[in-house]
Amino acid sequence: MVRKFLSHTDKIEETLSVLLFLALVVLCFMQVLFRFFLNFSLSWTEELANYDFILLIYVSCSLAILRGAHVRVEIIDALVTGVAKYVLDQILDLIWTIFIFAVGYYGIGIMRDAFLVEKTTPALDWPYGAVYAIVPATFFLMTVRLLQRMVQRHRAWVTNHENI
């Protein structure tokens, strides 16, 4: 059941990343088209493009975690092998998970405070709390992905001590 849910989440993340990227391209194209060819500026497109870009980055980070596509220093990987590499990778992912979870947790407080202040974005008139909700939502998703990766690594290690 959990695997099925995570599989659906994988597809949703991939689709969302593609849609957010396409929306970003369309919004930026509209900005250029209106500003330079029609001599008219649309303020809402710039603001929406900014929020779209932020959401795109965080959703894509979650996908990169799942695929192991983040940039990392690999010199240690060349020096450490076997059980030591497995333990080191698990410890590093645990530290990363704690950090990501903490950012998401404290992001909830910032989001709550933004809702209490009741300020809205300049062009779109959205509550800032809704915009700030991007951080805890995506960082908790990243936390789940890191835990998922740690479980996958552990299962691979149990099955075959060499192919981690």
Cβ–Cβ under 8 Å, residues 7 and 81: no
Total of domains in the chain: 1
Residues 13-24 pLDDT 10s: 999 999 999 999
Is the model more confident about 27 or about 70?
Answer: 27
pLDDT at 6: 80
Determine, yes or no, domain membership for 164: no
Sign of CA pseudo-dihedral 54, 19, 65, 98: positive
- C-beta atoms surrounding 49 within 10 Å: 18
- Asked, for residue 117, whether it belongs to a domain, the answer is yes
- Alpha-carbon distance of 112 to 105, in angstroms, equals 11
DSSP 50-62: HHHHHHHHHHHHH
- pTM value is 0.88
> Residue range 139-148: average pLDDT?
96
**Residue 13 covered by a domain:** yes
Judged by average pLDDT, the poorest of 10-14, 104-108, 138-142, 157-161 is 157-161
In a domain, 38, yes or no: yes
| Residue 36 or residue 100, greater confidence | 100
Residues whose CB falls within 8 Å of the CB of residue 38, separated by 6 or more in sequence, listed in order? none
Does residue 161 surpass a pLDDT of 80?
no
Does 43 fall in a domain? Answer: yes
Contact between 138 and 58 (Cβ < 8 Å): yes
* pLDDT score at 138: 97
CA 137 – CA 8 distance, rounded (Å):
17
Residue 9 pLDDT: 86
pLDDT the model gives residue 163: 52
Residue 134: which pLDDT band, with cuts at 50, 70 and 90?
Answer: very high
Domain of 134, in residue numbers: 2-159
Q: What is the pLDDT of residues 83-109, one digit of tens each?
A: 899 999 999 999 999 999 999 999 999
Q: Let me know if residue 94 belongs to a domain.
A: yes
